[in-house]
Chain A
Amino acid sequence: MTAPLPNNLNSADALVLYGESFASRLLLGTSRYPSPQVLEDAVQASNPAMITVSLRRQGSATAEVHSGFWDLLKKMAVRVLPNTAGCHSPQEVITTAQMAREVFETDWIKLELIGDDYTLQPDTLRLVQTAETLIKDGFKVLPYCTEDLIVCQRLVDVGCQAVMPWAAPIGTGQGPLNPYAMKLLRDRLSVPLLVDAGLGLPSHACTVMEWGFDGVLLNTAVALSEDPVVMASAFAKAVDAGRSAYLSGAMQPQESAQASTPLVGTPFWHQS
């Protein structure tokens, strides 16, 4: 789907993915909102770089429920990022990506290759080769992966210009469960890192941005909040705050107290 790029702006601190610049560092999912109107309002409130979309069988209950979704996408005119959610084999991923490219008229794809239905953990053993196949087919691949350094490095090696490690399993809202590995990723990899999945609070988003992650992709934390529109705005602000904090350079924690107010000239000092 061809859409204008409201976030493709000249910004001194733009998110750059595959050579394209985005003013926002928030990517927002479109599922599980109370209504299409709430989704539209949440997108407007948060102004995400992209919104994620998917494909399901025409005539299925899911597709029928979403019969007006295409018109809503055209109305919102936000860059879409199709996913391969629900795919369990490399061939399913590749075929789904090719169908998505035709329907949505975009080479961008959020690569999801599920290895376990209970945790929705990606199949990291087959993920890298699948990413390589998609890249050779001309896709701009954003792979959903775990926080494993070697997996992420291999994804970069085969041509992924960004990777998207989870913070926690999809939809759990638990926030980053493995800070050590995520910080290690940031230290070791120079490509853009987008945290995808597992965030539940704006503070989670702010935290990973403070660590130096380049953006976040989330859905459930907004869609299932009591007020998705306000929560979407809160996440957008948190992402911006975390990014600013990262760029500002945080102070180093100290072991002992250090007075903020100058001690020299303190009245009544040593008088008792």
Chain B
Amino acid sequence: MRVIVNQVAYELPNESVITDALSLIEAKPPYAVAVNLQFVPKTKHGEYLLNENDQLEVIAPVTGG
């Protein structure tokens, strides 16, 4: 199954969840996740089933104005 994480394509087994994708990119806390432009709270990362061509955004804190 193909998913896009931070604009990079990855292959994941079917029925993978967000946590699997986070492991794939070695995400370091703190982070937050959106799938297809919808926020997914961290309490759901272990159960949210990904679908083919889902687009994940994994974000980190940075400076801002």
Contact = CB atoms under 8 A, between A and B. Distances in A.
A57 B38 contact: no
A77 B39 CA distance: 27
Contact of B32 (A32, A53, A54, A99): A99
Contacts of B28: 58
Given A58-B25, A58-B28, A70-B30, A53 B63 contact: yes
Contact of B64 (A54, A91, A92): A54
B1 interface: no
Contacts of B34: 95, 99
A62 interface: yes
Contacts of B57: 57
A103 B32 contact: yes
Task: Name the residue among A39, A92, A98 with the largest chain B CB count within 10 angstroms.
Answer: A98
Contact of A103 (B6, B61, B64, B65): B61
Contact of A60 (B6, B30, B31, B65): B6
B65 A102 contact: no
A53 B62 CA distance: 6
Interface in B1-37: 6-7, 25, 27-28, 30-34, 37
Nearest to B5: A59
A52 interface: yes
B60 interface: yes
Contacts of B59: 55-58, 63, 96, 99, 103
Closest 5 CB pairs of A and B: A54-B64, A29-B65, A99-B32, A219-B65, A98-B39
